[in-house]
Structure 1
Amino acid sequence: MSRRKVSLKELGQVDYQGWLYKKKESKGFLGTKWKKYWFVLKKISMYWYTGQTAEKAEGYIHLTNFTVDQATEYKKKHAMKASHPQVVTLYFAAESLREMNKWLSKLSAAAAAATATLDESSERNTGGNGLKTLHGSFFIKLFFFLDEESQK
């Protein structure tokens, strides 16, 4: 089953959830567009939905090899970003400083856990020589997600 077809109900117990704004990839006529979504963090994946009862996710990312930080390059209050060194940077914004700090804490912990798990797996799979450092399935899923987003 596609991870995008996962309803909130099917996710079960989640680690954190709440409303955030997500920056659209392209700029609109009046500048950068931000759209409000219901975000859900479960283990090392973050999903976003149009609402709290949505039947499928609008998008998701695995946080492996992502870093999470404040996005000071945008004027939007309480903006943050999830950056991958080789793929993409996604921008989000919370409604308050308190919520932004909570999300930063939760997302940073999830990204660190995801990367640590990947590092341990890579160590086992390569015998420590570091030749296989990224799982292909991660990139396939992320590129599939990005391709679907660009077709909207």
Structure 2
Amino acid sequence: MNRKKSRELAMKLLFQMTINKEDSSKVIENLKENQETESNKKEDTNLKDIDMDYLVRVLKGVEVNRDLIDSKIQNYLKKWKIDRLSKIDITILRICSYEFLYEEDIPKNVSINEAVELAKVYGEDKSANFINGVLGSMIKDVNKA
């Protein structure tokens, strides 16, 4: 299983949940149904490399704890309001913040690195630096706790 691919798929699905206002159960159900009908035609939809336990934990975890996660993120936004961030940036920040708070087996530096890499691919020009700054500030306080 590939955690990087799992995290990327989690980001895509969480983004979908945000845009379409869907719940995690529906998104996961659709993913599994589409996988069966696609017959692995596309490499990025191939679930054999995906850590489904992680994927479900992240989607449900962000969904259930969204208010807390968003308030944590808001604490580290300088001169920004969370509702002004791009949907991609907030999705990436939510995943990493969830990992900081609830996934003790994932090193925090790995979470940040993966978040920055996702931002480079899916975000805007300055997204990676912005996300790195927010998460860098957040990790200092998380490590103190």
Give the TM-score of the pair, scaled to structure 1. Answer: 0.29
Greater share of strand residues, 1 or 2?
Answer: 1
Higher relative contact order (CA 8 A, sep 6+): 2
Q: Which has the larger radius of gyration?
A: 1
